[in-house]
Amino acid sequence: MSWRSASWRSGAERGVRSQAEAAEESRAGELLVRPVLRLACRGPGRSPTIHRDVIDTRLGGRYHLVRQIGQGGMGRVYEGRHVATGRRIAVKVITAADAAAFGRLEVEARAAGAIESQHIAQVLDVGIDEATGAAYIVMELLEGEDLSLVLCRLGCLPLQLCLRIAVQTCRGLARAHAAGVVHRDIKPANLFLAERDGGELAVKILDFGIAKLRPSPFAQQDAVTLTRTGSMLGTPLYMSPEQVRGQQTLDLRTDLWSLGVVLYEALTGKPPHQRDAVGEVVVAICTAKPPPVDKVAPWVPPGVAAVVARALEIDPKDRFQRAEEMLAALLALLPDDPSIRRSMLVPAEGSVPMSQAHPAAPTVFVASHATGDLPGGTEGATVEVRPPPFPTRTSQRDDLPSPLTSFIGREAEIVEAKRLLQAGRLVSLVGPGGTGKTRLSIQVASELRSSFEDGAVFVDLSSVLEADAILGAIAAGVGVREEPGQALSATMLRQLRPRRLLLVLDNCEHLVGACAELVEEMLLGCPGLRLLVTSRESLALEGEMILALAPLPIPEADHDLGDVARSEAVQLFVERGRSAQAGFRLTAEVAPAVAHICRTLDGIPLAIELAAARLRGLTAEQIAARIEDRFGLLDSIRRTASRRQRTLRALIDWSHELLTDRERAALRRLSVFQGGWVPSAAEAVCTFEGDPLELQPAQVTDLVAQLVGKSLVVAVDRSGSGRYRLLDTIRQYALEKLEESGEAPAVRARHFACYLRLAEEAESKLRTAEQLELLRRLDVEHDNLRAALDGFVEGGAPAGGGDAPRGWLEPEAALRLATALGRYWFLRGHHAEGSARLERLVRQATAAPAAIRGRALSMLLVLLPGSRPGKVTPEEALAACRAGGEGFWISLALLGMAEQALLKGDHATALSALEEGAVHARATGDAWIIARLLGERGRVHRSRLEFEQAVTPLREGLALARQTGDRWLIGILLHALGLTWCFQGEYEAAAALLEESLSLQRVLGSRVSIAETLSTLGGAFQYLGRHGQAATCFEETLSLARALGNEELAARAWLNLADNALVQGDLASARVSLREGFARWQEIVRKELLAWGLLGLAELAWREGRPADAMRFFGAELALEQAYAIGLHPASRARFERILDGLRTSLSEEGERVLELGRALRLEESLREAIAYLTA
């Protein structure tokens, strides 16, 4: 059927309205109201009838009535046409003699006219026909059906459709309430689903005939008895308690109650207060809360149930207070936009349409029911009562185990399992052993059994060892006995066919094929049967709905008691721990140990329960200390536990025994991966020369898929190329099997070769526009890269030959891998780890070729300066690179030499190294290294306060950097140029460059560069007088420094915070910040930071009235500045020189003597004096 909304003022037609239309509207005068309300509708089941008294007449001289399309208590509704324009319209006609009805008609027109919303039908005209005396209202003509017909035809509706209907209704009510209109009769019959173009549906709110309006200038019709508050008007099944009582004060919250009733009915198939008698309905509305919607319909999520429950609070003040508030709650539950399409009008799975459940049950209308026995009640109600839409349960088989321990967590999984069982007839809970599939299935079944006429039955198949015995076990479980001369299967199917039963089949994995055949036969032959299956792999049947059960969520950190306590894994440990040790509870002291236990055990419930049982003889801290030996530690002392659940090893042995030889080989070889793998890596690592199983790469992909299906491998990311991993407990088990197999050296060799290739391919690309993509890939593979490096320490020579790279597990190969990772470590802030690994390998790989050693030493100098000066010298790195003869690496070593010289204030050496480096760089034609050298030249000139000479190379370097696409390089050159503008007093220009640099570094995620740029940007803001923004930058720098463990960055942030406080006169904050900064002086390599701190301390002492101390600290700073050729910011120098001049004047000759004493202090002495001053 075509469902098309013909809106009088919709779409493009607004632009083509004829002059005749405009004239006709104008003639409507005061009776012409703004477009809105009550529509006429055509829908399924409504047959047009002809009424000769008005058919073919011209109502009001301009509306030709064609046929009747509806009838209600106020009159009839006709399809008509506008005489002048031919436009199709709907006209409601009422007898003029019925004054009350006409009053309602005018109220409806006024109410609708006050509202502008796409979810309220448009009213176009209202008046009285002079010829017939008929009152009429003209509306837009809509095609479709109202919600009451939809519910009658389909039964309860799918969740997403219910939410969308509620959202659109809420939007219409929000606009009505904003216009001062309370509808007071929201019910399914007054919510019309009208078709828009393209098959989209829109909810239209109908019938404002009993709406309550706030006072308005149109007329005094609010005084009409049938529309004023105080009368019991509406449909009681949908009326609010205050409406039923006939209270004088009704407000918008009564509409929100009614919408809650509609949503409840759409979700469950019946209104919440449905009773056999009208009086019972009225009393229930006023006194009883309805059963929670998620108990009546278990598939309804808790969030939706909470919205419905709040809307149906008896006391209005406990409901949503505005339609917008309810709308926001509903929108939060929708995954996308709330549009409705015709294709969504399907019944919820398992729903029984009212027309089928009660084919002969009409809607019953009962009039004049007294409500005087209710507080504030009135008489005179028109009540609509419907029979129950579902048959009631008459008998039930109760055959579920009663667990001895409480059920912990899994709320989301319970909701999802219920939803799946409502949507389909076969649901499989699939997951690794020990994840709690059995307990979850019992819990779900116990919560759902009341929804099934014949209850729920649990059948444990773990002890069934032969496929032929499955049928007998299930038949016994459901109470079917073999009959003489009849096959047991036929008998069972015949007896189950009429029953509505939930059947739980537990532990199907060891007989999965036979189980699948029998389950399929049962589903085909027993339409009222639903099955909940637990297994370590799915049954692979058509229509099977799989709920993959992961281990319990584990705490990410163990330092926050609240975070730890919220973890379901921890809650399980604590609950089971109380059984083992009376009074055990989670405290701040024990939380780290419990969190470590749960993380190590991957959140596997059975493993956690076994660990908690150890509290009988051990403390949580002792268990945590021994948990790495999980297979030896976790033996069960529960005598009633099944054999495979008494130890953690037995649990995994059970799964391992069910695998084929090839699956076992794949599992143990995959254990070499840490943090997961992509298919191509698995293919490279699991296949090698001399493999007795002769696995081929294509076979490995299939084997991984099979292991995923058997819940031993976890699919982490199914998008793109996909990624997989092993739970750590499974991995440790498989590693033992790998060692036992004798394959470990060959597999580790393949693993090392795979990740060496990845790192070396990535190294040069990290200097290009491909940087981000490569960083993300290396982030994901960082654990594998570390594991490959760790093989150098742990392993020996590969066995069985193979194609391992030359020098595998020798220092040379490990040094290649560490060098290739150097730039990655730098960009990701892993300075300490990278420098420690590289330094150790450089010292061990003494026989490595000069080129390999030179690359490693250059990487240490330039990209990993965490190796402090002296451990690796520039001369050593340069000599090795010269011997290797690679121009790029020679240039990089010379860059490192220049940086080290600049730190010492040796500008001449720095410039000389940069000149030579530029010669080699130009010979290579590598824009990246040329840009780096130009940037360093700019830094040297800025340090010498030669700003013009600094700007030129910085600009040239920035232009080259942009050509490379390296965001980090572009960012640091923008930073360097911005800092140079700061030195020249161009703070606004500097801030713009620094903010661009910061945005690039944030995209890149280079935390060290972000922190350094923030520090400089904060300085620019400070000079601009924007001290709040400056403090924000410095505080973020400090936060990043702490996260990185970078004490020099932290000291810099503290010293900047101190200076920002000083210029604002906040001496207390300045003292605290200086103390924190100087506490880290031993970690500070850049001497300009120490000079900066001494100047700040001198100013603090001066402001605190201690001029001699101030003079002494000034002297210490001047000595440091001279020794390291430090160039201070000119504005800062001017500020401090003003203070120093004042001190000289006030102290006279004594001041000069103290100044010289400060100059004479060694650096360590001056810093100790500084700390003593700040801690006094």
CATH code: domain of residue 121? 3.30.200.20
Both 157 and 135 in one domain: the answer is: no
Both 193 and 312 in one domain: the answer is: yes
Both 270 and 181 in one domain: the answer is: yes
CA-only gyration radius of the chain, Å: 40
pLDDT at 109: 65
For 663, residues 6+ apart whose C-beta sits below 8 A from its C-beta are 703, 706, 707, 710
pLDDT at 348: 62
Element (H, E) at 122: none
Both 494 and 619 in one domain: the answer is: no
Both 434 and 294 in one domain: the answer is: no
**Cα 173 → chain centroid:** 31
Domain stops at, among 354, 385, 416: 385
pLDDT at 6: 28
pLDDT at 72: 57
pLDDT at 536: 87
pLDDT along the chain (1176 residues), means of 10: 28 31 34 30 36 64 80 73 83 63 62 75 82 82 84 81 94 89 88 83 81 43 36 72 81 94 91 78 86 88 94 94 93 85 70 40 28 38 32 48 78 88 90 84 89 89 83 88 84 89 90 91 90 91 89 74 80 82 83 85 81 80 78 55 58 80 93 92 89 86 88 73 83 90 90 95 94 93 92 47 46 91 91 86 88 92 59 88 94 94 92 96 96 97 92 97 96 96 93 96 91 95 94 95 89 94 94 93 82 92 93 92 83 86 87 90 90 90
Both 133 and 164 in one domain: the answer is: no
* Angle made by CA atoms 572, 574, 580, in degrees to the nearest 5: 110
Residue 373 resides in a domain: yes
Residues in a beta bridge with 191: 205
Residue 584 resides in a domain: yes
CA gap 338, 981 in Å, rounded? 52
CA gap 921, 930 in Å, rounded? 6
CA gap 1023, 318 in Å, rounded? 54
Q: What is the reported pTM?
A: 0.58
Domain stops at, among 116, 139, 162: 139
Residues in a beta bridge with 195: 201
Contact 199, 342 (CB under 8 A): yes
Element (H, E) at 135: strand 134-139
Residue 809 resides in a domain: no
Distances (CA, A) of 314 to 239, 257, 276, 286, 287: 11, 9, 21, 7, 8
CATH of the domain at 428: 3.40.50.300
* Known catalytic membership, residue 185: yes
Could you tell me the two tokens for 19? 């002059």
Q: What burial letters (b/e) apply to 803-831, b meaning 16+ CB within 10 Å? A: ebbebbbbbbbbbbbbbbbbbbbbbbbbb
Residue 270 resides in a domain: yes
- Tally Cβ neighbours within 10 Å of residue 919: 13
Strands 426-430 and 545-548 turn out to be parallel
Residue 418 resides in a domain: yes
Both 403 and 361 in one domain: the answer is: no
Which residue in 387, 388, 72, 383 sits closest to 237, CA to CA?
Answer: 383
- Which residue out of 185, 602, 966, 1109 is catalytically annotated? 185
3-state secondary structure of 431: coil
Residue 543 resides in a domain: yes
Residue 149 resides in a domain: yes
Both 181 and 198 in one domain: the answer is: yes
pLDDT at 229: 39
Total number of domains in the chain: 5
Domain limits for position 468: 398-548
Amino acid at 52: R
Contact 757, 813 (CB under 8 A): no
CA gap 45, 1124 in Å, rounded? 95
Both 356 and 237 in one domain: the answer is: yes
Contact 42, 121 (CB under 8 A): no
Strands 58-59 and 63-72 turn out to be antiparallel
Both 235 and 374 in one domain: the answer is: yes
List strand residue ranges (DSSP E) for 614-747, in order: 714-717, 723-725
Distances (CA, A) of 984 to 651, 700, 947, 1128, 1131: 71, 63, 7, 12, 9
Could you tell me the two tokens for 886? 């690679």
Residue 303 resides in a domain: yes
Q: What burial letters (b/e) apply to 12-44, b meaning 16+ CB within 10 Å? A: eeeeeeeeebeebeeebeebbbbbbbbbbbbbe
710 is in an annotated binding site: no
Could you tell me the two tokens for 336? 């996308």
Domain stops at, among 139, 158, 187: 139
Both 117 and 154 in one domain: the answer is: no
- 903: number of CA atoms within 13 Å, CB side? 16
pLDDT at 358: 35
CATH of the domain at 339: 1.10.510.10
Both 241 and 339 in one domain: the answer is: yes
